[in-house]
Chains A and B, each alone.
Chain A
């Protein structure tokens, strides 16, 4: 048995499946189960959740024996920045308009890359935003603000 569980890909995958399956079963307890001939809304999800737990257990135990590692480690920073850039877009799109949303999105996303060159990112932002505004707002006539109120 190997004990580096944080990088054990099968152990973690199994754990993830068990957690999601368990959550599904627990939540489904609030839904009427019904019976086989007349299934309630809780029946199918409970079966699926149980199945996911079983499959997860198998994968997890196998991971304990094989000890196979996650390849390349965990890259938290690019992932977090990409996710952030998307969230920022949604947040500003609704409140400030498309241009601020795109500026925030581009800068956050570009920070996730290997190199960050300010001038290049600025140019990319300007060009792509102009393109997006041209295509989506003037071309396809989507009803979005450019800036707040416009």
Chain B
């Protein structure tokens, strides 16, 4: 079997002492930072991103992946214990998780979250191993036209499926594409939109944008909100869930995993939407739906499984097609590009040790989460009590040093402050930054594919509609747009 060979290769890479150590450090750092209240996975990754630049590609990506699911799990811990979700994906966990904590069942809630995540993670890794090569092989058939249509579909879908207003989402995508264009044009060598700043000839730095939009803007917005925290910590005694808890949550975990796995590959949907969707599903199939919101263990198990499954499967389009489906994946893709790897289906063939090594290490990372988190709950609880007024200057410090260290250039730091101000304004105007960063990452590629496709077709735009795969993506794009315009759907989205 091919897959077995591949997985063997993957595990041999992942089990090397060095990579194992980076996986461990990633998971630990991710959880440590992710647990801090008001610090979501995106802020965590953006902040820790520069640390990985010094590493070679394989350990860097392994560590980033570890940071990602560590941060996500840390977010669940915060949701359960403080009722303060770090991000939308774990907002659902608050409903029942926090209620369980209030009833003195914080231990089982945390344990079931870890177990559900682990199960979903295992299935997710298996799915990547199965679907990745198939999708990658198919993607080798793609030409410039197909890639352009695929990116168009991905960007439109991300604008439509992200929370918030659709038209603003589309505008943010376009804004992101424009920011992506800043820098030297590859075809003509012309510097575009650099405003005479020499540092901009390489484009707006990826870290600068990610940190500014997600960390700086987030902190400024957080400082306006009132700090209201109640930590339910006194009663964490029994960690292990009872047999009945396990039995009650087994099917919800399976259903959550299935829903999450599907949503993960959809652009813009990802963990957030999938955890809401499973929660609704569980409420529908439950014999007694009134228990939800009052500490039902299914209400923790299913969304946790879903958001972790989605987190895993969102790696599929990123690794095989080079198309990020969420802001987090955009950051991963950016990190990959900074390592000098051009993302796409050829990565699997030219760098099998990277592709399979990262996948195998995800499984190890998920296992580490379970091993690490259950005994460390006490430490996390202490961290939860750190006041925000100590946290945010420290986060800014890491961001500043991180950004400065990329090029040792203060201009990057100034730019980051500017992006932060822009990010804050966008947050206040309720424009989601996630589609922007997707547009930014895909911008230069999209322009390149558009130019190439039209060069080959001698300027005939029908090339996007006559090649079957490209046509399929175009139809899907139109379909997504049509769904958006349908008033019934719009009504639901606002609810």
Contacts and interface: CB of A to CB of B under 8 A. Distances in A.
Interface of A: 9-10, 12-13, 16-17, 20-21, 24, 27-28, 31-32, 35-41, 44-45, 48-49, 51-52, 55-56, 58-59, 62, 70-72, 74-75, 78-79, 82-87, 89-91, 93-94, 101-102, 105-106, 109-110, 112-115, 120-121, 124, 128, 132, 136, 140, 142-143
B401 interface: yes
Interface in B399-417: 399-401, 404-405, 408, 410-414, 416-417
Interface string B170-204: 11001101100100010110101100000000000
Interface stretch (B75-83, B255-263, B343-351, B425-433): B425-433
Q: What 3 A-B pairs are tightest by C-beta distance, nearest first?
A: A37-B459, A90-B413, A90-B410
Interface stretch (B130-138, B220-228, B238-246, B332-340): B220-228
Given A55-B174, A128-B393, A36 B420 contact: no
Nearest to A50: B174
B451 A112 contact: no
A102 B396 CA distance: 10
A38 B394 contact: no
B382 to A, nearest CB: 16
B484 interface: no
B447 A85 contact: no
Nearest to B181: A45
Contact of B227 (A58, A84, A87, A114): A114
B216 interface: yes
Contacts of B404: 89-90, 93
A85 B394 contact: no
A59 B165 CA distance: 10
Contacts of B450: 39, 44
B223 A48 contact: no
A78 B447 contact: no
Contact of A45 (B193, B220, B388, B410): B193
B347 to A, nearest CB: 26
20 contacts: A9-B428, A20-B175, A24-B178, A24-B193, A36-B461, A41-B185, A41-B187, A45-B181, A48-B178, A48-B181, A55-B174, A75-B224, A78-B220, A84-B417, A86-B216, A87-B414, A90-B410, A109-B392, A124-B393, A140-B54
A57 to B, nearest CB: 10
Contacts of A102: 397
Contacts of A89: 397, 400, 404, 413
Contacts of B227: 114
A52 B175 contact: yes
B425 to A, nearest CB: 7
A45 B413 contact: no
B168 A13 contact: yes
A31 B191 CA distance: 9
Given A83-B420, A90-B410, A105 B174 contact: no
Contacts of B416: 86
Q: Most chain-A Cβ atoms within 10 A of its Cβ — which of B429, B431, B451?
A: B429
B374 interface: no
A105 B396 contact: yes
Contacts of B219: 82
Contacts of B410: 90-91, 93-94
Contacts of A37: 454-455, 457-459
A52 to B, nearest CB: 5
Interface string B432-465: 0000000000000001001100110111010000
Contacts of A101: 400
Given A59-B167, A89-B400, A39 B451 contact: yes
Nearest to A136: B401
Contact of B389 (A38, A82, A113): A113
A106 B459 CA distance: 56
A105 B413 CA distance: 12
A141 to B, nearest CB: 10
Nearest to B193: A27
B421 interface: yes
Contact of B421 (A10, A79, A94, A121): A79
Contacts of A70: 428-429
A51 B170 CA distance: 10
B405 A142 contact: yes
A101 B396 CA distance: 12
B424 interface: yes
A114 B389 contact: yes
